[in-house]
Structure 1
Amino acid sequence: MGARSKARKRAVDFLYEADLLGSDAVTLLASRVGSPDVPPVNDYTVTLVEGVTANRSRIDDLISEHAEGWTLQRMPAVDRAILRLGLYELLWAADVPDAVAIDEAVELAKGLSTDDSPRFVNGVLGRIAVIADQLRAVL
């Protein structure tokens, strides 16, 4: 697994935990950085957690609009975290090609969630990818 893939996995861990605790992911991350009990946190993990947190309202709106038949609250928490990260990379990470953002999110879903989750994550992000250029123009 490459360094960025590991950073993505770690970012999902922080986003997931913060979601379950009802806390801010950046605050949770900050409490862990430099702790002797926690392995060092990759810079890209920090970028992802901060980016998702800063754009969370817009990210959640887009997921809600494009997750056919699912509300954000009804989704498994790990799927929410993966979708938030994938959508952040899709729209805000200029150095990550759209296909890579989607593929990485699907791989995370394969390893962390249910058997149906990879297809669900791919579907939601794929629908948003079709209009990604239009969305980026208004961000």
Structure 2
Amino acid sequence: MGERSEARKRAVEVLYEADLRELEPENLLKERVGSTEAPAVSEYAVKLVSGVAEHRERIDELIVNYSEGWALSRMPIVDRSVLRLGFFEMLWGDGVPPAVVIDEAVQLGKALSTDDSPRFINGVLGRLSGIDENERESMRGSRDGTAERDHRGGTAAQDSADFEDAADGSGQRRAEAGRGGQEED
């Protein structure tokens, strides 16, 4: 695994633990950076966690808009963490191409979450990647969400149809029931 891939994995682990324990990610990060018992946290992982923490409210709004009908609280915590990281990298990151962000996020979903998670993560981030830079710029500061809802690109229907195969009528993924501590009520 490459250095940045490892940093992303470590960032997701910190974001996951902070969400699970209801802590601020940056406070947990400070614990981890100074700890000799926890795995090392690279500079890039620190940048990712700090960026997600700084923009989390906006990121969460966008995730809800782009996940089409999914409440954030019903997503497995790992999926939320991976999506938060992906949205941060696509909108506020240092120029990593969207295709790379999506691939890395899908790989994290495969390694850390449910069987349905990679397709879900791919669909949500794929919708975000279909917008142009001007729309991304407006999203970074927009609070009303209209750009997110109105400009999803031509693949949103296909992504949505693909994902519907993994959902039941209640909007909860079937795989969530077997994930134990991976979800919130």
Report the TM-score when normalising by structure 2.
0.72
Whole-Å Cα distance in 1 between the matches of residues 132 and 72 of structure 2?
A: 20
Contact kept in structure 2, 1:15 and 1:25, CA below 8 Å = yes
Percent identical residues? 58
Shift of 1:34: 2.2
Q: What's the Cα RMSD here?
A: 1.1
Q: Is the 1:26–1:53 contact (alpha carbons within 8 Å) kept by the matching residues of 2?
A: yes
Q: CA deviation at 1:132?
A: 5.1
Name whichever of 5-14 and 67-76 sits farther off.
67-76
Once the two structures are superposed, residues 54-110 of structure 1 have per-residue CA deviations (whole angstroms, 9 ceiling, x without a partner) of 000110000000112311000000000000001111111133111101110010001
Secondary structure of 2:129's aligned partner: helix
* Structure 2 match to 1:93: 93
Could you tell me how far apart the structure 2 residues matched to 1:56 and 1:78 are? 15
Q: 2:153 matched to which residue of 1?
A: none
Using the alignment, how far apart are the partners of 1:121 and 1:132 within structure 2? 20
What is the match of residue 60 of structure 2?
60
Residue 7 of structure 1 corresponds to: 7
Question: 1:91, 1:132 within 8 Å by CA — same for their partners in 2?
Answer: no
> What is the TM-score of this pair, normalised by structure 1?
0.95
Equivalent positions of 1:59-138 (< 5 A) are: 59-131=59-131, 133-138=133-138
2:76, 2:46 → 1: CA distance? 23
The aligned counterpart of 1:19 is 19
Unpaired runs of at least 5, structure 2 = 141-185
Q: Which has the larger radius of gyration?
A: 2
Amino acid at match of 1:95: G
- More displaced, 76-85 or 128-137? 128-137
CA separation in 2, counterparts of 1:40 and 1:100? Answer: 24
Instruction: Describe the SS at the equivalent of 1:55.
Output: helix
Q: How many residues align?
A: 139
Indicate if the aligned counterparts of 1:16 and 1:77 stay in contact, CA closer than 8 A.
yes
